[in-house]
Amino acid sequence: MVNELVLDRVSVRFSLPGATVAAVNDVSLRIRPGECVALVGESGCGKTVLASALLGFLPGNAETAGRATLSSPSGAVDLLAASDHELATTIRSRRIGLIPQSPASHLTPVRTARAQLDEALRVHRSGQTADQLAGRAGLTPDDIDRYPHELSGGMAQRVANALALAGDPWLLIADEPTTGLDRHLVDGLIEEFRRMVDDHRAVLLITHDLAAAQRIADRVAVMYAGRIVELGPTRKVLDTPHHPYARGLRNALPDRDFTPIPGQPPLLTDLPPGCSFAPRCERAAPLCAERPFLTDDEHAAACHFPC
What structural domains does the chain harbor? Answer: 4-95+171-182+204-301 (3.40.50.300)
The 10s digit of each residue's pLDDT in 106-154 is: 899 999 999 999 999 998 888 889 999 888 788 899 999 999 999 988 8
Q: Is the torsion defined by CA of 153, 155, 161, 167 positive or negative?
A: negative
Q: How far is CA 57 from CA 42, 50, 64, in A?
A: 21, 10, 12
C-alpha to C-alpha distance for 101 and 51, rounded to whole angstroms: 12
Residues linked to residue 30 through DSSP beta bridges, in sequence order: 6
pTM: 0.91
The 10s digit of each residue's pLDDT in 242-297 is: 999 999 999 988 778 778 899 999 999 999 989 999 999 999 999 999 999 998 89
